[in-house]
Amino acid sequence: MGAFFLSHISAVIDNPRIDLIYQKKGFKSLYYIQIGEYKLKLFRKQILDLPNYFQYNGNYIFVCGSLFYKGLSYKDSISQLLSDFLSNKLENEKLYGNYAIIFYTSSTKEIVFATDPAHIKNIYFDSKNFFASNREWFYLLRRF
């Protein structure tokens, strides 16, 4: 399982404290990137040391959880999902697993969120403070 924390560049966030919360929960490997007007902290899967993002021409997919698409491996599923998303040819019936996905399209600066149909992996939003997270301890983050 991986984790993410997405915040608007204008949000006042205590980053060291948030990083500490994630580290205490066992997330160690952090990938940090700015996408459009948002800052994303993406933590790698805890058990498998696999990249949980893919980038193509400034477009991104970020994945937390486990998924398989079109019978492909995890790595190939992620790259194929981004390709199909960008070409508007996603085949939802061929996507399996428990996941939270963030797609970012550089040309439109659009961020799209997706979760598994069973809603096992959720995404929590705080529009007042301009941030989102896929972890259930989200209520702790609301205090910062």
The pLDDT tens digits of the residues spanning 69-90 come to: 999 999 999 999 999 999 999 9
Question: What is the rounded distance in angstroms from the CA atom of residue 89 to the CA atom of residue 24?
Answer: 39
Residue with more model confidence, 12 or 59: 59
Neighbours of 87 (CB within 10 A): 8
pLDDT above 80: residue 136? no
Q: How confident is the model at residue 143 (pLDDT cuts 50, 70, 90)?
A: very low
pTM of the complete model beyond 0.85: yes
Mean pLDDT of the chain: 85
Residue with more model confidence, 83 or 19: 83
pLDDT above 80: residue 31? yes
Question: What is the rounded distance in angstroms from the CA atom of residue 83 to the CA atom of residue 89?
Answer: 8
CA distance readout (Å), 61 to 12, 20, 110, 140: 25, 25, 12, 26
Q: Domain 3-141's class?
A: alpha beta
Q: What is the pLDDT of residue 21?
A: 83
Q: Looking only at Cα atoms, what is the longest distance across the chain?
A: 42
Question: What is the rounded distance in angstroms from the CA atom of residue 8 to the CA atom of residue 19?
Answer: 16
H or E element, residue 5:
strand 3-8
